[in-house]
Amino acid sequence: MRFEVRVEVRLREGVADPQGQTIERSLPHLGFAGVSGVRVGKSIRFVVEAADEAAARAEVEDMCARFLTNPVIEDSEVTLTEAAPVG
**Residue 46 binding a copy of itself, by CB under 8 A:** yes
Q: Which residue in the set 13, 16, 18, 33 belongs to the binding site for a copy of itself (CB under 8 A)?
A: 33
- Least Å distance, CB 72 to a copy of itself, is 19
Task: Check if the beta carbon of residue 3 is closer than 8 Å to that of residue 53.
Answer: yes
- Least Å distance, CB 63 to a copy of itself, is 6
Buried b (16+ CB within 10 A) or exposed e, 39-66: eebeebeeebebeeeeebbeebeebbee
- Least Å distance, CB 58 to a copy of itself, is 11
C-alpha torsion 78→9→16→24, nearest 10: -100
Q: Identify the helix (H) or strand (E) that includes residue 21.
A: helix 18-26
**Residue 64 binding a copy of itself, by CB under 8 A:** no
For a copy of itself, the binding residues (CB under 8 A) are: 8-10, 20, 23-24, 26-27, 30, 32-50, 59, 62-63, 66-68
